[in-house]
């Protein structure tokens, strides 16, 4: 890759090392410091899954997660979320990898802009950042670079919110959602989460329901099932491992909650996915 090409993929706020570290982190790989290695790493990028079978609800549930970190300006939290909630889903729009990569950047930009707006970043600034990445995606003929741009676009918006966003108080429900997604394998009853957030259990549960229309307990169950479903689809972990990683007290507890939410047991879900493949 030429020096000119490298300059094109460099964002405004992120350093070269920040990009290298981010790609390495979400891919759980070790990296060297050379900027020229970035595209090589992108060949093994695991955090994007293109599927015609992904439902709008599944995408919305996952995007709710990463958007909350953008709105808070939490770059570390965003990377942890992507790494633990992989793969990042997007609908298939083209059989051409280059066009699909460009579509991914455009598709994600609207969600990122709205999240940055909630974080107090002026709309004109959010638009400028996302437009920059869409332009880069449209200018490159390298399909790997086009798809690679998704991660630095999200990171740059998150960093911009932290540096430039107008100070504002985020709803308690927003803080609770972030806490849940970051501690999903742990005990997450109303008392423990309320204590972590410095409020009473009654305050947490009442405000969460008022702000979201969903009870706190129902939200925790939904996110746990959502994560379990993704692990079933993308790993070969056994059911007991998935129950542990998603915070269910037992394998039978996971099976009960999963069947209630999806109509299938975890094993039936995985068999169905294998047959469809």
Domains of the chain, each with CATH number or no CATH: 3-164 (no CATH), 172-276 (1.10.10.60)
CB 91 within 8 A of CB 103: no
Q: What is the pLDDT of residue 32?
A: 43
The answer, yes or no, to whether residue 239 has pLDDT greater than 60, is yes
Indicate if the alpha-carbon torsion angle 189, 195, 201, 205 is positive or negative.
negative
Kindly report the number of other CB atoms within 10 A of residue 47's CB atom: 18
Q: Residue range 76-97: average pLDDT?
A: 74
Q: What is the mean pLDDT of residues 209-217?
A: 87
What is the enclosing helix (H) or strand (E) of 112?
A: helix 97-118
Distance of CA 137 to the CA centre of its chain: 20
Mean pLDDT of the chain: 77
Q: How far apart, in whole angstroms, are the C-alpha atoms of residue 177 and residue 116? A: 17
Helix (H, G, I), strand (E, B) or coil at 14: coil
- Tell whether the model's pLDDT for residue 201 goes beyond 50: yes
| Measured distance CA(55)–CA(47) in Å, rounded | 18
pLDDT of residue 77: 80
Distance CA 233, CA 156 (A): 29
| Res. 188: pLDDT tops 80 | yes
In percent, the amount of the chain with pLDDT more than 90 equals: 17
pLDDT (mean) for 151-174:
81
Most confident of 22-31, 98-107, 155-164, 173-182: 155-164
Residue 34 has pLDDT above 90, yes or no: no
Instruction: Kindly report whether the global pTM for this prediction surpasses the value 0.85.
Output: no
């Amino acid at each position: 890759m030429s020096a000119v090409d490298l300059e094109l993929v460099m964002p405004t706020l992120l350093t070269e090392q920040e990009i290298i570290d981010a790609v390495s982190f979400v891919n759980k790989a070790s990296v060297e410091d050379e900027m020229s290695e970035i595209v090589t790493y992108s060949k093994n990028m695991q955090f994007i899954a293109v599927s015609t079978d992904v439902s709008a609800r599944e995408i919305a549930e996952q995007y709710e997660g990463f958007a909350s970190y953008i709105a808070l300006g939490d770059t570390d939290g965003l990377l942890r979320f992507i790494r633990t909630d992989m793969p990042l889903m997007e609908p298939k729009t083209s059989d051409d990898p280059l066009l699909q990569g460009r579509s991914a950047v455009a598709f994600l930009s609207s969600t990122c802009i709205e999240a940055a707006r909630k974080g107090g970043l002026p709309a004109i600034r959010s638009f400028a950042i996302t437009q920059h990445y869409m332009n880069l995606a449209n200018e490159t003929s390298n399909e790997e670079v086009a798809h690679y741009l998704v991660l630095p676009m999200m990171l740059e918006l998150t960093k911009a919110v932290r540096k430039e966003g107008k100070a504002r108080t985020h709803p308690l429900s927003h803080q609770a959602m972030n806490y849940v997604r970051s501690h999903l394998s742990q005990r997450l009853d109303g008392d423990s989460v309320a204590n972590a957030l410095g409020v009473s259990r009654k305050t947490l549960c009442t405000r969460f329901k008022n702000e979201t229309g969903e009870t706190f307990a129902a939200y925790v169950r939904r996110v746990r099932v959502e994560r379990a479903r993704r692990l079933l689809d993308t790993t070969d972990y056994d059911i007991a491992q998935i129950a542990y990683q998603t915070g269910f007290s037992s394998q039978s507890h996971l099976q009960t909650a999963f069947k209630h939410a999806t109509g299938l047991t975890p094993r039936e879900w995985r068999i169905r996915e294998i047959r469809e493949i």
